[in-house]
Amino acid sequence: MPDARDVIIVGGGHNGLVTAFYLAKAGYKPLVLERRAQPGGAAITEEFHPGFRCSILAHAAGPLRPDVVRDMQLVKHGLTIITPEVGVVALSPDGRALILHNDREKAAQEIGKFSQKDASKYPEFQKSLAKVGKVIADALALTPPNIDSPSRGDLWGMLKTARSVRNLGKKDLYRLLRWGPMAAADLVAEYFETELLRATIAARGIFGTFLGPWSAGSALVLLVRSAGDSHPAGSACFAQGGMGSITQAMAAAATQAGAEIRSNADVIEIRVKNGAATGVVLSTGEEINAKAVISNADPKRTLLKLVDPVHLSPDFVMKLQHYRMPGTVAKVNLALSGLPEFTALNGSPESTLSGRIHIGPEIDYLERAFDESKYGNFSKHPYLEIAIPSVTDPSLAPPGKHVMSIYVQYAPYKLKGSDWDSQRVALGDTVVRTLAQYAPKLPELISSHQIITPQDLEDTYGLTGGPHLPR
């Protein structure tokens, strides 16, 4: 029998790599097993057309925890974060654009072109988001407590959270309590009157979720995202060389700390004996024993596919089957022969396109996009979240050319009366048609495209139900 490893980590996505790093740091010898040719999970850079590379799935670095960046010394391991001056530019079909700079004052100035009242409210909103978001950030840094029988550590963590909640002060405490269960559409309406601004901020509460802006709870998503980044509409944050650079740096950090990473190692089973995990089996038949197995794959794949259900209580299996992870996002990547001209940005400098581009001009537009997905159709007028990373990182495309990375929402994993193979082209067409309303000449610039449906996300990237992507 081969030697038992300390720890096996199933899946080399960013969470698997971070786990491997911290365990290696603590003196363990973790082995990361990645099914695909390169680690990185949903944070990968690939060449999808000769000379054109982009972040195939997730395209913007979300709120990467600063302690992780520091501990792993990601910058030393080759990570360069690009923070363009423009966070988001929101386009409206009437030819107007709302340019939200990362800088609060500048953003307020641009908002002032739409509404002075909104401009004056914006900094106040941001401050409240930052304060309330901080409490949520503290809670996010904890292992969730076991609500059934909290351990002493759980109680301590909850107590700390409770204290930071109470330290908010009466006004912000009430805000936290009231905002949590609200709809993002209601929350933004309490502060702003400009529809385009409302929609752009509310979009943060629905991105990657099966919620519309009128769904209760979408305000909480907005707050959770604000925990890492208090810009109301979110800032832009890219990695030089695409998202793959983040996971490459993580892999390097983990390896240096003593972890081993094996690619093309597809785990097909987690072995269990007497209620304890004893190792894994690869698709090649190879068996690797370990004292502990940690899975970076989603819970359904981990516990319903990799573990034989006989090892689990039927009650637990049932609960797990109810774990909701409906996919709502598709991805379209375009190779462009030039930089597209957006009608609303006529005359603006190229740097205006350096951040994220938001298409979803009204709350109702976003809600209607959501409505269709409830009945198993993809949105005819989808909400698009776009980046043209080659504007700030020319290494991604040949000189003068560009890559455009587009999140498409809503694209439900389960289509009614159809399947994604037959709808793939229609989805691509819908996206290009939607974009053409804002950049009429864009279709002529497309040299190639890549369409990643929720089905592809599951089949190729192992994301059950094609679930939401990180941002």
List contacts with another protein (CB under 8 A). 147-148, 166, 170, 173-174, 177-182, 186, 190, 211, 214-217, 319, 322, 324, 364, 367-368, 371, 374-375
In the complex with another protein, which residue's Cβ is closer, 94 or 315? 315
Q: Which is nearer to another protein, 21 or 179 (CB)?
A: 179
Our CB check for another protein shows the closer of 22 and 191 to be: 191
Which lies closer to another protein via its Cβ, residue 155 or residue 425?
155
User: 411-421 burial by CB neighbour count: b if 16+ within 10 A, else e?
Assistant: bbbebeeeebe
Tell me the closest approach of the beta carbon of residue 181 to another protein, in angstroms.
3
Measured from the CB of residue 133, what is the shortest distance to another protein in angstroms?
18
Local structure of residue 395 (DSSP, 8 states): G
Q: Minimum Å distance from CB 183 to another protein? A: 8
- For residue 91, what is the enclosing H or E element? strand 86-91
Provide CB contacts within 8 A for 329, sequence distance 6+.
208, 407, 408, 409, 410, 411, 454, 466, 468, 469
10 Å Cβ neighbour count for 144?
A: 10
Closest to another protein by CB, 84 vs 212, is: 212
- DSSP type of residue 471: -
> What is the β-pairing status of strands 276-282 and 267-273?
antiparallel
Minimum distance of another protein from residue 374's CB (angstroms): 6
Shortest Cβ distance from residue 275 to another protein (Å)? 18
Q: How far apart are CA 61 and CA 236, in angstroms?
A: 8
The strand ranges marked E within 296-350 are 329-336
CA–CA dist 260, 271 (Å, integer): 20
148, two tokens: 């059934």
Q: Nearest-CA neighbor of 222 among 192, 202, 194, 199?
A: 202
Distance CA 412, CA 404 (A): 22
What number of other Cβ atoms are within 10 A of residue 284's Cβ?
10
> Toward another protein, which CB reaches closer, 250 or 366?
366
Closer residue to another protein, CB minimum distance, 156 or 174: 174
- The minimum distance between CB 147 and another protein, in angstroms, equals 6
Reduce the DSSP state of residue 283 to 3 states and report it.
Answer: coil
Sheet with 329-336: list strands edge to edge: 97-101, 86-91, 356-359, 383-387, 402-409, 329-336, 446-452
If the CB atoms of residues 188 and 335 are measured against another protein, the closer one turns out to be 188
Q: How far is the CB of 435 from another protein (least distance, A)?
A: 25
User: Smallest distance from the beta carbon of 187 to another protein, in angstroms?
Assistant: 10
Least spacing, CB of residue 377 vs another protein, in Å: 12
285 Cβ neighbours under 8 A, 6+ residues apart: none
For the record, the structure tokens of 393 come out as 């990182």
Task: Report, in Å, the least distance between residue 19 CB and another protein.
Answer: 26
Q: How far apart are CA 74 and CA 240, in angstroms?
A: 12
For another protein, the closer CB: 323 or 425? 323
Q: Looking at beta carbons only, is 374 or 433 nearer to another protein?
A: 374
